[in-house]
Structure 1
Amino acid sequence: MKIVVVGAGIGGLATALSLDAAGFRDIEVYERADELRGLGVGINLLPHAVRELTELGIVQRISTLGVEPTSLAYFNAQGQPIWSEPRGLAAGYRWPQLSVHRGRLQLALRDAVLERLGDVIRTGHRLLEVVPGEDADTARFETAAGVVEVAADVIVGADGIHSSLRAQHNPEEGAPAWGGLTLWRGVAYAPPFLDGRTMIMAGHGDQKFVAYPLGEADESGRMRINFIAEKRGAGTASVDWNRAVEIGPIAELFADWRYDWLDVPALISSAEELLEYPMVDRDPLERWTVGRSTLLGDAAHAMYPNGSNGGSQAIIDSRVLAFHLGTAATASEGLAAYEADRRPATAALLAQTREAGPEKVMVLAEQRAPGGFEHIHDVIGADELERVATDYKKAAGFHPALLNERASLTVSRAAEARG
């Protein structure tokens, strides 16, 4: 079986590795960019994704790229604590949570693909269309040398929020929907905050700040910190992950956010650069699979980053797809099983992210006590706080009890049986 993966981002590379682990040997990855440069800022890999990376045998190389946060804490805009919970191993998972640089993760996955599959990544290939055929579908790519056609038994569109494959099958959809919030992402070297292992979120539905460490403190006591500043009514709807903006005006938006445990405007001001990105997503599709082609990751279910789950969901997609292709009698049955498994689950998760996901506790605190509070339980009861956190974990597939007991997605069928 020949499988073509469109897109060499986290989802596409994880798909190649997952398919290889499932015993498939004729796999090629086609990437629009001329080279993989490892761009971006921080990303959180939640325990359900780390489990899959562990079973793929590559978690060790990825764990060296960042740190394991041991807790997640929510605060209001005044810096008062709302909710805190352990994360990763400290929360009873069998796998940790990892905070890493997105670009370094992508390059680590690329290196693993090259080591295991060989020279299968083709850069400088922009997907034009997929043409259905009698015995195979054909992916047509634009390259510097002209149009290249590649026939395959399965074509996986892992080409991101601007997916060409998704657009081909949903021409009426248009641009991603912008809800008015803009994100500014950056990385800065600064003194550790709190215990140096905590991921924090502060603010409410109209303005928020997120920060977490990406590495250990250096000899000077500073550590690499990833942050996201977010505000409604600023920026534009133009979707470009790599658009840098002036730092000063963004720091000024958070001028009053100075806490005894973190100076938010100072952290923003010390960033290496600031990348602007609108908070956008796409509505759920009625189907991902058309003929021999299907969608994966942001191409299938781009969602708000509430809950830090986008990259993790792409990795899970890749493993579920490989599992079903590796255990079904035919490719079409495998694709149908993959979609039946993942499309409803990600649609439900997308709906939760639109309601702020686990960050709903900050929205509730602002609604009920905009000026602050003496104690959070005067505003939100402990049971309600716990319920918000638990409901999201269940929807996203990483509730500790459910994840720890879930069956493995590793395919044991021998490669020779596939031909």
Structure 2
Amino acid sequence: MKIVIIGAGIGGLLTALSLHDAGLTDIEVYERSAEIRGLGVGINLLPHAVRELTELGVVDDIAALGVEPSALAYFNRHGQSIWEEPRGLAAGYAWPQLSVHRGRLQLTLRDLVERRIGDVIRTGHRVVSVEDRADSSTAHFETARGPVSVDADVVIAADGIHSAVRAERYPDEGAPPWSGLTLWRGVATAEPFLDGRTMVMVGDGEQKFVAYPLGPVGPDGRMPINFIAERRGAGSGEVDWNHPIDPQPIVDLFREWSFDWIDIPALIASADEILEYPMVDRDALPGWTFGRTTLVGDAAHAMYPNGSNGGSQATLDARTLAFHLATAASPEAGLRAYEADRRPATAALLEQTRQAGPEKVMVLAAERAPEGFAHIHDVIGPDELEEVATAYKRAAGFHPTSLNDRASLSVVR
């Protein structure tokens, strides 16, 4: 079975590795960019993704890139603690959570594809259309040398939130809708906060700050810290990924957010570079599969980063698709089974992220006690806090019990 993957981002590369591991070895990956440069900032891989990376045999390569967070802690805009929970192994999972640099992760996955599969990544190929037939598909590309057409038994579109393949099937969808929030992302080298391994979220539904370490403490006592600053009503909503900006206006927005355990304006000011992103997503689709063509990752279900789940969901897509293509009676049956597993699950998760996901506790705290509180349980009871966290884990597929007990997606050969 010849398989063409469109897009060499995290989702596309993991799909290639998953297909190869399942015994489907006739694979080619077509990437629009002239080279894979490994752009971006931090990304979290939650235990359900790390389980798949472990079974795929690549977790050691990826774990070497970052750190395992010990806890996730939520605070209000006054720096008061709302909720804290252990993460990864400390939370009862059989697999850890990993915080890594997205660009380094992409380059590592590229190297793994080249090492395991061979010279199968074709850069400088911009997809313009995919022609579906009953028993095959043809992907048409533009290149510097002119048009190129590639026939395949299956075409997998992993071409991101601006997917050309998705747009061809849903031409009236338009641009990704803006939530009204703008994100500013950066990496700073600074002294550790709290225990040096905790991921923190500070603020509410109008303004928020997220930070987590990306590496160990160095000889100078400092460590790389990924951060995301977020504000409603700022920015234009135009999607211009990796757009660098002057940090001073963002520092000013968070001027009062300096606490005894973290100095947020100083952290923002010390970043090497700050990139601006509008918070956008895509509506759930009625279908991902068209003949022998299907969608994975952000092309299928781009969602808000609430809950830090985008990369993890792309990982689940890749492994689920590979499992079904390798075990179904036909490619069509495999694609149907993949979509039946993943489309309803991601649609439900999309709705959770639009309701703030696990970060709902910050919204509730701000609504009920905008000026702060003596103790969080005067505002939100422990059972309600626990239920917010648990409901999101169930929707995202990483409740500890269900994840630890779920059958493997590895194909026994």
TM-score normalised by structure 2 residue count: 0.99
What RMSD over aligned residues (CA atoms) do the two structures have, in Å? Answer: 0.6
2:282 paired residue number: 282
1:131 paired residue number: 131
1:37-52 correspondence to structure 2 within 5 Å = 37-52=37-52
SS of aligned partner of 2:244:
strand
Q: Is the 8 A contact 1:35 1:123 kept in 2?
A: yes
Structure 2 distance, partners of 1:128, 1:278, is 26
1:17 paired residue number: 17
Structure 2 distance, partners of 1:340, 1:134, is 20
Equivalent residue letter for 2:405: E
Offset of 1:42 from its aligned partner? Answer: 0.1
Structure 2 distance, partners of 1:239, 1:316, is 26
Equivalent residue letter for 2:318: S
Structure 2 distance, partners of 1:95, 1:135, is 40
Percent of pairs identical after alignment?
A: 72
1:232-311 correspondence to structure 2 within 5 Å = 232-311=232-311
Equivalent residue letter for 1:279: M
Structure 2 distance, partners of 1:72, 1:254, is 21
Structure 2 distance, partners of 1:298, 1:316, is 12
Deviations, residues 30-76 of structure 1 (Å, cap 9, x unaligned): 00000000110000000000000000101001101000001000000
Deviations, residues 355-383 of structure 1 (Å, cap 9, x unaligned): 00000000000000000000000000000
1:39-78 correspondence to structure 2 within 5 Å = 39-78=39-78
Deviations, residues 361-417 of structure 1 (Å, cap 9, x unaligned): 00000000000000000000000000000000000000000100000000114xxxx
1:171 paired residue number: 171
Q: Is the 8 A contact 1:70 1:198 kept in 2?
A: yes
2:327 paired residue number: 327
Equivalent residue letter for 2:326: G
Equivalent residue letter for 2:255: A
Q: Is the 8 A contact 1:189 1:224 kept in 2?
A: yes
Equivalent residue letter for 2:99: S
Q: Is the 8 A contact 2:184 2:276 kept in 1?
A: yes
Structure 1 distance, partners of 2:392, 2:24, is 34
Q: Is the 8 A contact 1:178 1:280 kept in 2?
A: yes
1:404 paired residue number: 404
Structure 2 distance, partners of 1:132, 1:321, is 19
2:209 paired residue number: 209
SS of aligned partner of 2:273:
strand
Offset of 1:19 from its aligned partner? Answer: 0.1
Equivalent residue letter for 1:312: S
Offset of 1:134 from its aligned partner? Answer: 5.0
Equivalent residue letter for 2:95: W
1:114 paired residue number: 114
Structure 2 distance, partners of 1:220, 1:280, is 38
TM-score normalised by structure 1 residue count: 0.98
Deviations, residues 302-357 of structure 1 (Å, cap 9, x unaligned): 00000000001001100000011011000000000000000000000000000000
1:417 paired residue number: none
Q: Is the 8 A contact 2:134 2:291 kept in 1?
A: no
Q: Is the 8 A contact 1:81 1:376 kept in 2?
A: yes
Structure 2 distance, partners of 1:337, 1:48, is 20
1:6 paired residue number: 6
Deviations, residues 262-301 of structure 1 (Å, cap 9, x unaligned): 0000000000100000000010000000010000000000
Equivalent residue letter for 1:154: V
Equivalent residue letter for 2:259: Y
Offset of 1:241 from its aligned partner? Answer: 2.0
1:377 paired residue number: 377
Q: Is the 8 A contact 1:140 1:147 kept in 2?
A: yes
Deviations, residues 112-159 of structure 1 (Å, cap 9, x unaligned): 000000000000000000012354210000000000000001100100
1:30 paired residue number: 30
Structure 1 stretches of 5 or more lacking a match? Answer: 414-419
1:147 paired residue number: 147
SS of aligned partner of 1:129:
strand
Structure 1 distance, partners of 2:224, 2:336, is 43
1:358-377 correspondence to structure 2 within 5 Å = 358-377=358-377
1:392 aligns with 2:392: yes
Deviating beyond 3 angstroms after TM superposition, the runs of 4 or more aligned structure 1 residues are: none
Q: Is the 8 A contact 1:40 1:241 kept in 2?
A: no
Equivalent residue letter for 2:198: T
Equivalent residue letter for 2:184: W
Equivalent residue letter for 2:375: H
Structure 2 distance, partners of 1:239, 1:30, is 23
Offset of 1:223 from its aligned partner? Answer: 0.4
Structure 2 distance, partners of 1:41, 1:65, is 13
> When the two structures are aligned, how many residues end up with a matched partner?
413
